[in-house]
Amino acid sequence: MKKLWALCCLLLPLCTFSAQADEAKKGHRTIAVQVKMAQNLTPVDAELWTLYVYAAKPNTRLPLANFKGKLSQLPTEVLLDESMYLLPHLTLKHTEEVVIVAKASKSKNPHQKSNEDLIGYSGPLSFSSGDKLATSIVIDRHDVAK
């Protein structure tokens, strides 16, 4: 019995290390997003507009990861990751499927909607195939104020 106990004591740290290594392999979820603007919608005063790029669960607008920049920086690539959350219980880590939204607004408040706002959406993306995703978005329509 002592030998069995000694063997268990020796193997336990190895099992724990293996579990930690498996967790590390899962990695940190990221989404590389190429963002462009439809030429016919590019505002003359683009340097005054704010660009918001965020990941959300399908059919919602609550960000799981978000980026804020200048519309005049387009085209650009944005890397969204798990650390870019607004609320700690709503992150990329907590969902399997997301859509990416790119919104351009004159407002400094991302929640305020205006008929001037411009927006583009990705199709659904799934983390079931891995923790590193990539997509592209064209801001190609007006965001209808509700």
* Residue 99 belongs to a domain: yes
* Residue 11 belongs to a domain: no
* Residue 21 belongs to a domain: no
Per-residue pLDDT band for 22 (boundaries 50, 70, 90) equals very low
Torsion angles phi and psi, residue 8, rounded to 5: -60, -40
* pLDDT score, position 9: 45
d(CA 25, CA 115): 45
User: What is the average per-residue pLDDT within 67-82?
Assistant: 96
Per-residue pLDDT band for 7 (boundaries 50, 70, 90) equals very low
* pLDDT score, position 20: 39
CA–CA distances in Å: residue 14 to residues 7, 10, 20, 94: 11, 7, 10, 28
Indicate which CATH number applies to the domain containing 95.
Answer: 2.60.40.2990
Domain count for the chain, please give it.
1
Percent of the chain scoring above 90 in pLDDT? 64
The residue range of the domain holding 103 is: 26-142
- pLDDT tens per residue, range 93-132: 989 999 999 999 998 777 777 888 999 999 999 999 899 9
* pLDDT score, position 113: 79
Helix H or strand E encompassing 19: helix 2-26
* Residue 92, pLDDT above cutoff 70: yes
* Residue 6 belongs to a domain: no
Q: Which of 31-35, 49-53, 115-119 shows the lowest per-residue confidence on average (mean pLDDT)?
A: 115-119
Half-sphere exposure of 102 (CA within 13 A, CB side): 29
* pLDDT score, position 127: 96
